[in-house]
Amino acid sequence: MLAGSTALPFVVQAQTVSEKAVSAASRMQTGAAPIAPGEAPPRAGLASGPAPQFTRDNGAPIGENRHSKAAGDMGPVLLEDAHLIEKLARFDRERVPERVVHARGTGALGVFKATADISDITKASLFASGKETPVFVRFSTVIHGKDSPEFARDPHGFATKFYTDQGNWDLVGNNLPIFFIRDAIQFPDMIHSLKPDPILNKQDPNRFFDFFSATPEATNMITQVWTNLGTPASYRTMDGNGVHAFKLVDAQGETVF
């Protein structure tokens, strides 16, 4: 990240010894004045003057961007080189992979308007009768990839962000009122069973029915997925259900579930 260098008292040029020697020799041959501290060496197509200052993500200035911090001239690279670690971490994450679930989706901006007053059980201002709050919603399928059809048989979810005058509030839900499992430790196994076969790249009923046959609490959910609820006509017409218990706090600090 680049930031203006005018507020900084000095700028350390990242040059090797050979670069410095060539730069000094060329300026002596042309009669140009030596490069002053903080001044960038002239380059083709660029105006000379104060050099831009490299900074880390947190805004801390970087004096050296070409050499790692080491234990001595020939020593090993030190793990305490925070800039090196940050630079490599950014490089490793330049290509963001497809998300594991809910990859296929679409978003919408809108306004949430409270049609009933529930201020007797919550002090959240967005639930005051007639209150309008900007909102963003992302609707999605669950299992299949970002290039899959939206009409595939699949639970459908939504993530909602309310931009309230008391701060942002995130709410998530599904179109079905229950879920496959109760214990989160089973979630990776369930998703692996529902994902396409890694060899054939297609969903295999033998894989996920093998998992669900050993998971009796999933019977209710899997039955509903195989009804028309598993293939809603559109995001607009699908049901919405909370996937959590909700705790409301009123103005007196009393709680209601």
Could you tell me the two tokens for 95? 């290509």
Q: Which residues contact 219 (CB under 8 A, 6 or more apart)?
A: 212
Render 171-216 in DSSP notation, one character per residue. Answer: EEEESSSS-S-S-GGGHHHHHHHHSPPTTT-S--HHHHHHHHHT-G
Residue in 83, 156, 174, 175 annotated catalytic? 174
* Spatial CA neighbour of 172 closest among 190, 159, 185, 183: 159
Q: At what angle do helices 187-194 and 205-213 cross, to 10 degrees?
A: 150
What is the DSSP pairing of strand 156-164 with strand 53-54? unpaired
- State yes or no: is 83 an active-site residue: no
Residue in 102, 144, 156, 175 annotated catalytic? 102
- State yes or no: is 102 an active-site residue: yes
Contact 50, 6 (CB under 8 A): yes
Residue 31's SS3 state is coil
Beta bridge partners of 166: none
Which residues have a catalytic role annotated? Answer: 102, 174
